[in-house]
Chain A
Amino acid sequence: MKRKASVRQLREHDEEIVSWKELRRHLNKVTKPARYTGGELNAVRKDPSSVSVRFALVFPDVYEVGMSHLGSQIIYHVLNSRDDTACERAYSPWPDMEELSRARGWPLFTLESRSPLNSFDIIGFSLAYELTYTNVLAALDLGGLPLFSTERDERDPLVIAGGPVSMAAEPLAEFIDAFALGDGEDLAGEIVDCYKKWRASRRPRLELLESLAGIEGVYVPSLYDVKHSDEGLLVEVRPKAGAPGRVRRRIFSDLEKAPYPERPVVPFLEPVHDRAMVEIFRGCTRGCRFCQAGTLYRPVRERKPETVSRIARKILAASGYDEVSLVSLSSADYLPIREVIEDVLTRSPCPARVSLPSLRVDSFSVELSKLLGGGLTLAPEAGSQRMRDVINKNVTEEDVMDAAKAAFSWGFTRIKLYFMIGLPGETDQDVLAIADLAYRIRQLGRDMGTKPTIAVSVSGFVPKSHTAFQWEPFVGRDEIERRQSLLAKHLRGPGLEFRYHDSRQTYLEAILSRGDRRLGRVVYHAYRRGARFDSWPDMLDLDLWLSCMKEASLEPGFYTRERGQDEILPWDHLDPGVTKGFLLLERARARRAEKTPDCREAPCPGCGVCPRFGVAPVLAGRDGTSKGAGDRAR
């Protein structure tokens, strides 16, 4: 109750922004103060009195990371395109800034108007990864909002969250009023409309939540009662007040009609991805069984090549970037990729490079890399053919060696290779196959007269919700480390580099990403005890997290174990479109190391998205509207 009083107090001074004079005097005390000063090119500053809804878009990580996030730029653009809405941005303050803010009494404020978060109508979090949960709580707390949804009343902002993690963010269920599932292009505006209507009605806050639950794609966790058995198993998720039994993810069916930030906000501080981004398609048809994005963005929807080129030219002219990234989950799958690259290279308003964030393992992708300049990264994901078949990474040994051969003949001497360890059914032999593959590629390079460097990068596999592996156990932190050192022992020698991901983070991610609502208490206590920026290896305090779990009488092993196929999973009431039956089928195929072909080329494997949600793959470069099977020659 005490905390709530202080929030009320803050709200009485809603109009009070953090003054520039105050900020200017003290910001020299923190690292990279420009993270907090805004004023970027193409940032949208609207007069608050000229709009009816003020929306604060919060990315729960540091500025340079948040500014590289395409989804946030899209939502910022969509909301600011509305005359009645002003969307402003805020990012997590680095601990030195949090400390200074608390000392000076500054709330977390937006960059555009330096208004405190609690002066907004709606706060929208962008959830890109699970290890930002404590930053979400920090942002709410520093923004002057009650942390728990139930503590907020009619005067408090509506707190929503979107992004891929929203599809399984039960640990945040008590803190977030509503999750926006799936594509936000239409959904963001519908939420704003719903909010406006409710505010005009002057009805209780509960009615806002109930009407939000009526929007397709909005999940209001407080309208679902969850019951656990004594063993902790989820036994019931019961909707209340007319909320749907399952909430469907939203799909924006035609990207050609989607609004796109052609004048993106250009940060002064170098963002982690310092380039213009054009999304060439959404969704991926490859069907890798470990990949959550592969489920959550189905079906594949491509933009037409002329649209991609036009957007690229506009962004370059409006930003001054010297590089355009053609973004998607597998950019080499885009049939007209070559013509788009050539168009961007030759017809840009200023000289610009092109980069592709995600390439396939084949000689075509290597050729593209050469065309674009820069390094070469290939992701076979697993070392042995058996494992690659298990995960449905449709890459053969021959593809890998062909790609490597092409790379050396094109003059690459350094090849980066990405793998995962800890995959379902993986043996030591499979792990050592990674080293073996690296050796053979190095030998190939030597045979071709080069002095190759093979940089192997390995991360631990975390089973994710909404994938064929959602029931699989996480192999354990010790086991991940054992396999890492097994590999390290074998990956030694000239021309070999080996890097691996922090196993502590992998472990925490494995706990949180299949977490249930009870983990909310753990997130809460971890936040209260100082956990922040858990996705930053230097910042993560795993012992703190584990002791918070102990205090909450929750076992990490409960979350990392294998799940029963008849168990109710904490995200089962959120419908990605892909059916559970299909995921189970895929799991069975994985166990038999059986492949499922790409739906771009082969007959429909029956994942369920298209018939159930009334959508269809959209493939550009042919008739541009619908898919046909088998005729996409590469």
Chain B
Amino acid sequence: MRVRIRYEKGDEQRFLGHLEVRRALVMALARAGWPVAMTKGYTPRPKVEMVAPLPVGTAGLNEVADVYLSESRSLEDLGRSLGEAMPPGFKLKEVWRISPDESTLETRITASTYRVLVYGAEDAPLKRALECFLGKDEAKFHREAREQARETRESHDTREKNRQIDLKLFVRRIEVVTSAPPALRIVLRHFEGRTVRPAWVLEFLVKHCGLEGVDPRESVVDREWLDWGDGGSHGS
């Protein structure tokens, strides 16, 4: 049996990394008594597939993971037991059954919607920076080599090529939604599992669009929802 869960990685747990979130979920599943299937191989691991990992510092209001079970259970039981077992700062929002043959969700995600609280900027200069960004044909962003090397297993050449990303390809929408401090809503595309981070867009605005007084590391980023193919979209 394969089930998909939708959960919240809350504000106060935003600083957990992807692996820590996975560990927290696996331990919650154990406390909930879910009969989680194990992977085959020398060191079997619980079969839990995380989707579109969030970086350290980002909260997620509607995150998704797939869990494979070794035996069938009623969705009601599963939802209740895991709901009670979620650790502080996490909330289970939905559990539903999906076909075991369904292809992995990771490559089918089409977009992430973020809300980004920008400290240090007034509304007007922020809006001007956005106009500047939207007016550009391309927005080349250089990832830190160190960061990239850590995260990918690509060959040296591929890595060099991928270090330079055109943010414009990824940004589907960007707008100012609240003020004092202003918040941005940014919709970022995913291509076959590849996407960019809102903090990179902010960094670009600072470096190339005249946005002053902003330290991108100080932005507070929440992912509000994920969209994926077949019209599936979860979140409010």
A25 at the interface (CB under 8 A from B): yes
B218 at the interface (CB under 8 A from A): yes
- Within the complex, which residue of B12, B56, B85 is in contact with A28, where a contact is CB–CB below 8 Å? B56
Given contacts A37-B13, A266-B27, A319-B27, A25 and B220 within 8 Å (CB-CB): yes
Residues 204-224 of chain B, each 1 if its beta carbon lies under 8 Å from chain A, else 0: 000000000000011010000
Question: Which residue of the partner chain A has the closest CB to B31?
Answer: A320
Given contacts A268-B16, A268-B87, A28 and B24 within 8 Å (CB-CB): no
A349 at the interface (CB under 8 A from B): yes
> Which residues of chain A have C-beta atoms less than 8 A from B232's C-beta?
none
B88 at the interface (CB under 8 A from A): yes
- Within the complex, which residue of B14, B27, B89 is in contact with A24, where a contact is CB–CB below 8 Å? B14
**Most B CB within 10 A of own CB, among A33, A37, A350:** A350
B23 with A270: CB separation less than 8 A: yes
Residues 71-109 of chain A, each 1 if its beta carbon lies under 8 Å from chain B, else 0: 000000000000000000000000000000000000000
B191 at the interface (CB under 8 A from A): no
- Distance, CA A268 to CA B24, complexed state (A): 6
B12 with A37: CB separation less than 8 A: yes
B16 with A41: CB separation less than 8 A: no
B200 at the interface (CB under 8 A from A): no
- Within the complex, which residue of A20, A27, A37, A320 is in contact with B27, where a contact is CB–CB below 8 Å? A320
Given contacts A37-B13, A268-B23, A270-B23, A28 and B218 within 8 Å (CB-CB): yes
Residues facing A in B7-56 (CB within 8 A) are 11-17, 19-20, 23-24, 26-31, 33, 56
Question: Which residue of the partner chain A has the closest CB to B88?
Answer: A39
Given contacts A28-B57, A268-B24, A320-B27, A41 and B33 within 8 Å (CB-CB): no
Given contacts A39-B13, A39-B89, A26 and B218 within 8 Å (CB-CB): yes
A269 with B33: CB separation less than 8 A: no
Tally of contacts, chain A with chain B, CB under 8 A: 72
> Which residues of chain A have C-beta atoms less than 8 A from B16's C-beta?
34, 268-269
Residues facing B in A313-330 (CB within 8 A) are 316-322
B141 at the interface (CB under 8 A from A): no
Question: What is the distance, in angstroms, from B228's C-beta to the closest C-beta of chain A?
Answer: 27
> Which residues of chain B have C-beta atoms less than 8 A from A316's C-beta?
30
> Which residues of chain A have C-beta atoms less than 8 A from B56's C-beta?
28, 33-34
- Distance, CA A37 to CA B59, complexed state (A): 14
Given contacts A27-B57, A29-B217, A349-B33, A320 and B15 within 8 Å (CB-CB): no
B33 with A40: CB separation less than 8 A: no
> Which residues of chain B have C-beta atoms less than 8 A from A34's C-beta?
13, 15-17, 20, 56
Residues 18-36 of chain A, each 1 if its beta carbon lies under 8 Å from chain B, else 0: 0010001111110001100
Question: What is the distance, in angstroms, from A36's C-beta to the closest C-beta of chain B?
Answer: 8
B30 with A270: CB separation less than 8 A: no
Residues 85-108 of chain B, each 1 if its beta carbon lies under 8 Å from chain A, else 0: 101110000000000000000000
Question: Which residue of the partner chain B has the closest CB to A45?
Answer: B88
- Distance, CA A350 to CA B217, complexed state (A): 40
B57 with A270: CB separation less than 8 A: no
- Within the complex, which residue of A37, A39, A268, A320 is in contact with B30, where a contact is CB–CB below 8 Å? A320
- Distance, CA A485 to CA B152, complexed state (A): 39
B26 with A25: CB separation less than 8 A: no
Residues 317-349 of chain A, each 1 if its beta carbon lies under 8 Å from chain B, else 0: 111111000000000000000000000000001
B87 with A41: CB separation less than 8 A: yes
Residues 104-144 of chain B, each 1 if its beta carbon lies under 8 Å from chain A, else 0: 00000000000000010000000000000000000000000
- Distance, CA A495 to CA B15, complexed state (A): 42
A317 with B14: CB separation less than 8 A: no
> For the side of the interface on A, what is the size category?
20 to 34
- Distance, CA A350 to CA B33, complexed state (A): 7
> Which residues of chain A have C-beta atoms less than 8 A from B15's C-beta?
27-28, 33-34, 37
Question: Which residue of the partner chain B has the closest CB to A27?
Answer: B15
> Which residues of chain A have C-beta atoms less than 8 A from B218's C-beta?
25-26, 28-29
B20 with A33: CB separation less than 8 A: no
> Which residues of chain B have C-beta atoms less than 8 A from A319's C-beta?
27, 31
B87 with A266: CB separation less than 8 A: yes
> Which residues of chain A have C-beta atoms less than 8 A from B87's C-beta?
40-41, 266, 268
B119 with A25: CB separation less than 8 A: yes
Residues 282-317 of chain A, each 1 if its beta carbon lies under 8 Å from chain B, else 0: 000000000000000000000000000000000011
- Distance, CA A317 to CA B89, complexed state (A): 20
**Most B CB within 10 A of own CB, among A28, A41, A270, A319:** A28
Question: Which residue of the partner chain A has the closest CB to B220?
Answer: A24
> Which residues of chain B have C-beta atoms less than 8 A from A20's C-beta?
11-12
- Within the complex, which residue of A40, A318, A349 is in contact with B88, where a contact is CB–CB below 8 Å? A40
Question: Which residue of the partner chain A has the closest CB to B199?
Answer: A28
Question: Which residue of the partner chain A has the closest CB to B32?
Answer: A320
- Distance, CA A317 to CA B81, complexed state (A): 13
Residues 252-276 of chain A, each 1 if its beta carbon lies under 8 Å from chain B, else 0: 0000000000000010111000000
- Distance, CA A600 to CA B119, complexed state (A): 66
Question: Which residue of the partner chain A has the closest CB to B120?
Answer: A25
- Distance, CA A266 to CA B31, complexed state (A): 12
Question: Which residue of the partner chain A has the closest CB to B216?
Answer: A28
Given contacts A33-B15, A39-B13, A322 and B88 within 8 Å (CB-CB): no
Question: What is the distance, in angstroms, from B51's C-beta to the closest C-beta of chain A?
Answer: 19
A41 with B220: CB separation less than 8 A: no
> Which residues of chain A have C-beta atoms less than 8 A from B23's C-beta?
268, 270
Question: What is the distance, in angstroms, from B15's C-beta to the closest C-beta of chain A?
Answer: 4
- Distance, CA A350 to CA B23, complexed state (A): 15
Question: What is the distance, in angstroms, from A430's C-beta to the closest C-beta of chain B?
Answer: 39
A321 with B27: CB separation less than 8 A: yes
- Distance, CA A28 to CA B202, complexed state (A): 14
Question: Which residue of the partner chain A has the closest CB to B20?
Answer: A268
B20 with A28: CB separation less than 8 A: no
Question: Which residue of the partner chain A has the closest CB to B43?
Answer: A373
- Distance, CA A350 to CA B35, complexed state (A): 9
Question: Which residue of the partner chain B has the closest CB to A270?
Answer: B23
Question: What is the distance, in angstroms, from B74's C-beta to the closest C-beta of chain A?
Answer: 19
- Distance, CA A40 to CA B23, complexed state (A): 13
B30 with A350: CB separation less than 8 A: yes
- Distance, CA A40 to CA B85, complexed state (A): 13
Question: What is the distance, in angstroms, from B146's C-beta to the closest C-beta of chain A?
Answer: 13
Question: Which residue of the partner chain A has the closest CB to B56?
Answer: A33
- Distance, CA A40 to CA B27, complexed state (A): 12
Question: What is the distance, in angstroms, from A407's C-beta to the closest C-beta of chain B?
Answer: 19
- Within the complex, which residue of A24, A40, A320, A349 is in contact with B11, where a contact is CB–CB below 8 Å? A24
> Which residues of chain A have C-beta atoms less than 8 A from B28's C-beta?
320
- Distance, CA A269 to CA B56, complexed state (A): 12
> Which residues of chain B have C-beta atoms less than 8 A from A322's C-beta?
30
- Distance, CA A464 to CA B56, complexed state (A): 42
- Distance, CA A270 to CA B22, complexed state (A): 11
- Distance, CA A266 to CA B28, complexed state (A): 11
- Distance, CA A320 to CA B28, complexed state (A): 6
> Which residues of chain B have C-beta atoms less than 8 A from A29's C-beta?
217-218
> Which residues of chain A have C-beta atoms less than 8 A from B11's C-beta?
20, 24
- Distance, CA A14 to CA B30, complexed state (A): 41
B27 with A39: CB separation less than 8 A: no
Given contacts A37-B13, A39-B12, A321-B30, 16 further A-B contacts (CB under 8 A): A25-B119, A27-B15, A27-B57, A29-B218, A34-B20, A39-B89, A41-B27, A41-B87, A266-B27, A268-B13, A268-B23, A268-B24, A316-B30, A320-B27, A320-B30, A350-B31
Q: List 14 A-B contacts (CB under 8 A).
A: A24-B14, A25-B119, A29-B217, A34-B20, A39-B12, A40-B88, A41-B87, A41-B88, A266-B27, A268-B16, A268-B87, A319-B27, A320-B29, A321-B27
| In the A-B complex, the 6 residue pairs with the closest CB atoms | A320-B27, A320-B30, A33-B15, A320-B31, A34-B15, A350-B30
